[in-house]
Structure 1
Amino acid sequence: MACRLDIEIQSRKLLKPSASTPDNLRRLKLSLFDQLALRTYIPVLFNYLPSSSSTSYDDELEKSLAETLTKFYPFAGRFAKDIDPFSIDCNDEGVEYVQTKVNADDLAQFLRGQAHNDSESSLIDLLPIKDVEPSSPSSPLFGVQVNVFNNGGVTIGIQISHIVADAFTMATFVNEWAHTCLTGRTVSNNPGFGQLSLLFPAKVLQFPSPSPDLNTNTTTTGPNYKIVTRRFVFDALAIENLRKTIKDNDMMMKQPSRVVVIMSLMWKVLTHISSAKNNGNSRDSSLGFPINMRGKLSCTAPSLEHALGNYGMMGIADRKARRKDDELNDFVKLVGNTIWNTCEAIGKAESVDDISSLAFNNHIKGVEKLLQEDKMDVYGTTSWCKLPWYEADFGWGKPFWVSPVGLNLIEGAILMDTKDGNGVQLTICLKEKNMTEFEKHLHIFSSTPILG
């Protein structure tokens, strides 16, 4: 049994923006992409080593957060379902802001002393929002928990409703907050809220019935459905060695990226596990992943490279059942070509209506596959790579480790850059029995587990 972190809450409040949101910005319409996002919180931890300046962080962090919220004003609002189900009431009600004292020397030492199976529950305790309905009109859209360890190390736990932000938006916010805290000045440019909803407004949509419950983190109880999380790191050398095993073929993306290689490897291992469970008989399999659309559109006049909110389209790679396991090369081809084909379709779209239809149709395709989980395997993953997670310096240096936490997803994974920018951290959530088998295959790809 794991020993939980001994956390003492010093303060908890609803922190409001330092200036009121203007009346003309009080209602933020949601976009189609916001509408299709999961009704859940995106959780991430920023972990900092102790420094002389981290002992006097309280006032600066809180003040700079309030100032940053004046620009990211929807985060301090609430869902306005009683008025308009497709909008945010930017009423400055506030974000959840918690300050704690952690009675442990430091995070890394604590986790090294924990049983590998139990460390995730300790990390979840470092997050601010618990036991609330993510899409309730009364629930906060954003939360911050500042955890200070005995040695002065700091872990900032952040959660944001996926309906108002994707990973790009969260990374943008955290870096603007850090910049304001470090320099005392806000970033001059204004964030692009509202751009996407003007072009791609939310609308009444018809989904397949019965629709799977895509918007909660609940799972069936019982030993076969316990969800566990592991993290594995692939350094630059491990990724290069994997690339060397990929043969030349007719893949449209000739040089597979780090993300394509690791996503493909994960999919290969999971299909092998599925085949072994079915006496060597493989099943049809799909891997779904969002593709960031910023900078990919040619049919719209305004630049959307910095648009905030959700702006990703689902890509789905399909693999038919085989008599034998495919090579990594085959999975790389499936994933790479899916990305290439989806981006080509986005670039060739002649109107925003074409983009909306493509996004919705791809989403429905994913839903329909989930409805067939008794007949096929469906996996989901997403990449947070190439985002400036490790640039967030609040005044006591850049983080030594950034990671998602507490995802509770079935057969899902998130990829992030390692601190040096050359490797990939794979955070994967699987049913417990599947995870046991997944770890047995570590020798295939020479990765190492880290911090939980």
Structure 2
Amino acid sequence: MAKLEIEIQTRKMLKPSTPTPNHLRTLKLSLLDQIASRKYVPVLFHYLPTSSSEGIAIASEKLQNSLAETLTNFYPLAGRFREDEFSIHCNDEGVEYVETKVVNANLAEFLHQEPKNIELLNDFLPDMDDHRPSSLLLGVQVNVLNCGGVVIGIQISHMVADAFTLATFVNEWAHTNLTRTTKDCLPSFGHLSSLFPARVLSGPQFSPPSNIDPKTITRRFVFDVLAIAKLMETVNSNATLTRPTRVAVVMSLIWKVLTGISTAKRGHSRDSCLGFTINLRGKSNIPSLEHALGNCATNGIVKIEAGKELNELVGKTIRDTCLLISKAASVDDLSSLIVSNWKKGVDRYLRGGDVYGFTSWCGFPWYEADFGWGKPSWVSYVCFDEWHITLLMDTKNGDGIEAWVCLNENDMIEFEKDPHILTLCSPIPK
């Protein structure tokens, strides 16, 4: 399929159904928000048509009403950044809501051919401007295909939300749309900024590169339960430590393949570094972080010297980082660890060399979002242009992992034909 034919049916600003109270009109950003990427985070929810599907007019009205109700609890998403970028004016200006009709696609066929159509996924997303004080923090696009299937595309500012917050928001919206009721007890914004206030950070600052190779390519690689079991066996046969997680073994393999490509290209090996994100919720001794909304994560860094084997280094470093988080005796200690990890990440990036970034969305309830059409057939990421970045997500059944890998064109050619990738990855989504 060369291009999706998408006709916009509705475009409007949706505001919270109840005005935000005056005492909540200003939300201070936290230190964790401050060091988050200045970008929008996308996600797509794909729903096949069902016999219980409502008429589009009824479904549209319900979706808009339930989103407006949900925004009363997620009110910062309808606000705007203040000029200082250290706070959000929760002024109920609204979020962008778009409905489209996709006239030349059947969702079942589209998903079956997904490896060939992956570049088209971005068309299901709302257009969002670069971050400015006047920029929106959330955009939603509801795409109705000619078969009756629906794809909901969401873009949210990473400066106000991480994967946990995004998943919480989507599931609450789905729950409200399905039941016409909101939950009695919901997590709240503002707690993280009281614990970890934003501050002036010294030293070099990270900014996204302006010279990204225009020929970056995103591909999705599926590691099913059998492939992960094989990876576990390989690691455990040489391991002296505890059993690594499935996320750690997939990260390790991808890192190994990428360093192999680098070695072959240069004719020699060199030091490489892997950065990964760790969700702080449930890992620190600060229980109030468990359900906090906003950004609540820190970075971990693994370095391996040229010529050394990877073994289970990734899993060990993840465990060591989590141990340091759990041992932080106070909020100040945890803040110091967060800033230290962030500075290490910036320093490694600025030094150049082989630096690979990973983030994992595994373990979040993406597939629980039932708007009334059943649970999604697929929850996906999209094509992106962040060179040497990999995002991991659970497969629908929860025991496999999808790896969304972004590389330059030449590296992707080598990656796709690597024997480990050819042996372990499913070529077609199941």
Q: Could you say which residue in structure 1 is the equivalent of 2:347?
A: 368
What does 1:58-73 correspond to in 2, within 5 Å?
58-73=60-75
2:322 pairs with 1:343 = yes
- CA separation in 2, counterparts of 1:212 and 1:161? 17
Mark the CA change 1:114 to 1:351 in structure 2 (over 3 Å): closer, same or farther. closer
Of 321, 328, 333, 1:354 maps to 333
What is the CA distance between 1:410 and its match in structure 2? Answer: 0.8
What is the CA distance between 1:409 and its match in structure 2? Answer: 1.2
Mark the CA change 1:404 to 1:442 in structure 2 (over 3 Å): closer, same or farther. farther
Alignment check: 8 A CA contact 1:259 1:383 kept = yes
Alignment check: 8 A CA contact 2:119 2:382 kept = no
| AA partner of residue 420 (structure 1) | N
What does 1:146-295 correspond to in 2, within 5 Å?
146-208=142-204, 211-214=205-208, 219-221=211-213, 225-249=214-238, 252=241, 254-279=242-267, 281-295=268-282
2:15 pairs with 1:16 = yes
| AA partner of residue 6 (structure 1) | E
Q: Could you say which residue in structure 2 is the equivalent of 1:414?
A: 391
- CA separation in 2, counterparts of 1:17 and 1:190? 16
What is the CA distance between 1:450 and its match in structure 2? Answer: 4.4
Alignment check: 8 A CA contact 1:104 1:110 kept = no
Alignment check: 8 A CA contact 1:77 1:94 kept = yes
- CA separation in 2, counterparts of 1:247 and 1:432? 34
- CA separation in 2, counterparts of 1:381 and 1:362? 15
CA displacement 1:409-437 (0-9 Å, x = unmatched): 11001111111011111111111111110
Alignment check: 8 A CA contact 2:4 2:105 kept = no
CA displacement 1:310-338 (0-9 Å, x = unmatched): 00010011110017xx3xxx34x211111
- CA separation in 2, counterparts of 1:313 and 1:258? 20
- CA separation in 2, counterparts of 1:129 and 1:188? 33
Q: Could you say which residue in structure 1 is the equivalent of 2:6?
A: 7
What does 1:76-87 correspond to in 2, within 5 Å?
76-81=78-83, 84-87=84-87
What secondary structure sits across from 2:53 in the alignment?
helix
Of residues 401-410 and 30-39 in structure 1, the stretch that sits farther from structure 2 once superposed is: 401-410
What is the CA distance between 1:220 and its match in structure 2? Answer: 3.4
Mark the CA change 1:442 to 1:107 in structure 2 (over 3 Å): closer, same or farther. farther
What is the CA distance between 1:105 and its match in structure 2? Answer: 3.5
What does 1:37-186 correspond to in 2, within 5 Å?
37-56=36-55, 57-81=59-83, 84-110=84-110, 116=116, 119-130=117-128, 132-133=129-130, 135-186=131-182
- CA separation in 2, counterparts of 1:385 and 1:363? 22
Q: Could you say which residue in structure 2 is the equivalent of 1:395?
A: 372
- CA separation in 2, counterparts of 1:343 and 1:303? 17
Mark the CA change 1:357 to 1:443 in structure 2 (over 3 Å): closer, same or farther. closer
What is the CA distance between 1:250 and its match in structure 2? Answer: 5.5
CA displacement 1:121-174 (0-9 Å, x = unmatched): 3111100124x11x2111110010000001100000001000000000000111
- CA separation in 2, counterparts of 1:238 and 1:321? 27
Alignment check: 8 A CA contact 1:76 1:142 kept = yes
- CA separation in 2, counterparts of 1:30 and 1:54? 40
Alignment check: 8 A CA contact 1:230 1:449 kept = no
What is the CA distance between 1:63 and its match in structure 2? Answer: 0.7
What secondary structure sits across from 2:8 in the alignment?
strand
- CA separation in 1, counterparts of 2:5 and 2:328? 54
Percent pairwise identity: 58
- CA separation in 2, counterparts of 1:345 and 1:115? 40
- CA separation in 1, counterparts of 2:334 and 2:104? 50
Alignment check: 8 A CA contact 1:96 1:129 kept = no
Which runs of 5 or more structure 1 residues have no equivalent in the other structure? none
Mark the CA change 1:26 to 1:212 in structure 2 (over 3 Å): closer, same or farther. closer
- CA separation in 2, counterparts of 1:54 and 1:219? 46
What secondary structure sits across from 1:246 in the alignment?
helix
Of residues 309-318 and 339-348 in structure 1, the stretch that sits farther from structure 2 once superposed is: 339-348
Of residues 434-443 and 29-38 in structure 1, the stretch that sits farther from structure 2 once superposed is: 434-443
- CA separation in 2, counterparts of 1:126 and 1:342? 37
Alignment check: 8 A CA contact 2:80 2:93 kept = yes
CA displacement 1:358-408 (0-9 Å, x = unmatched): 1111111111111122xx200001110111000100001000100111332
- CA separation in 2, counterparts of 1:86 and 1:434? 39
Mark the CA change 1:113 to 1:400 in structure 2 (over 3 Å): closer, same or farther. closer
Q: Could you say which residue in structure 2 is the equivalent of 1:446?
A: 424
Between the two proteins, the alignment pairs up a number of residues equal to 426
CA displacement 1:54-105 (0-9 Å, x = unmatched): 3432111111010000000001001011xx4311111100001000000124
Mark the CA change 1:288 to 1:106 in structure 2 (over 3 Å): closer, same or farther. same
